[in-house]
Amino acid sequence: MDLLLYIIIITFVFVGLRLIPARIKYNKSQYQHISGNKFFKTVFDKGNYGEFLTFCMLEKLGESNILTNIYLPKKDGTTTEVDLLLVNATGIYVFESKNYSGWIFGNEKNKMWTQSLKGGKKNKFFNPIWQNKGHVSALDEYLDKQYTDYFYSYIIFSQRCELKKVSYSSPNVYVIKRNALMRVLKKHIAASPNNLSPEEVRDIYSKLKSRTLADEDTKKRHIEEIEAKHNK
């Protein structure tokens, strides 16, 4: 019994030590207000947590026009969800967050990419470049194709993974690990001209913000659409 109690206490201490820094970061960030995700839903959901970490990095760069979980209509009547987006004077940066571990293999031309884990386990996942291309297309349509040339697609993988063999050649596409994001994005923004006026930045942000904080019915319908597509 004493051993069991000891294990329980150690477990609580370990979890507490991990949660306290995350809680402090969460409270300081605007993520909770922009995403609507509560603390435990953020830290205990792998996808949300990766998105949160990327959001915090964008804030560190001094950026404030950041949005998450944007639900947009598609031509076929379904919806698409954009993980994370930044509106900057230099353009519209669209982020697809992949909080994966292991080795990552993928080619821009292939529909499926591979995650290779210890023990030889392999998981297939949809090409994130194609996935984010769909997001960019939906955003472009929603904004009446006024800013087509100013979209930039960023695929952000966790630093826990290794991009073992990833190849792509499309312009305005970046596939990087999260720990390289600040360096790459800062350099990208510094080297780019201002393509959007302050009024355009505000207008784009306002239009897209209206598509965030979706209700549960919208989220449920979106998940059902994804499941139906994968089951075809």
Digit-by-digit pLDDT tens for the chain (232 residues) are 576 665 666 665 555 667 889 999 999 999 999 999 999 999 999 999 999 999 999 999 998 899 999 999 888 888 999 999 999 999 999 999 999 999 999 999 999 999 999 999 999 999 999 999 999 999 999 999 999 999 999 999 999 999 999 999 999 999 999 999 999 999 999 999 999 999 999 999 999 999 999 887 787 787 777 666 656 6
Chain-centroid distance, C-alpha 24: 21
Asked if the structure places residue 97 within a domain, the reply is: yes
Residue 22 belongs to some domain of the structure: no
Q: Give me the phi and psi of 130, to 5 degrees please.
A: -65, -40
With respect to residue 137, please indicate whether it lies within any of the assigned structural domains: yes
Q: What does the block give as tokens for 46?
A: 């792998």
Q: Which of 192, 134, 135, 184 is nearest to 156 (CA)?
A: 184
Q: Is 57 exposed, middle or buried (0-12, 13-18, 19+ CB in 10 A)?
A: middle
For the chain, the domain total comes to 1
**What is the domain extent for residue 137?**
33-230
Is 12 within the bounds of a domain?
A: no
Asked whether residue 18 is domain-assigned, the answer is no
Place of tokens 């669209």: 94
CATH number at residue 202: 3.40.1350.10
Q: Which of 179, 137, 140 is nearest to 160 (CA)?
A: 179
pTM higher than 0.85, yes or no? Answer: yes
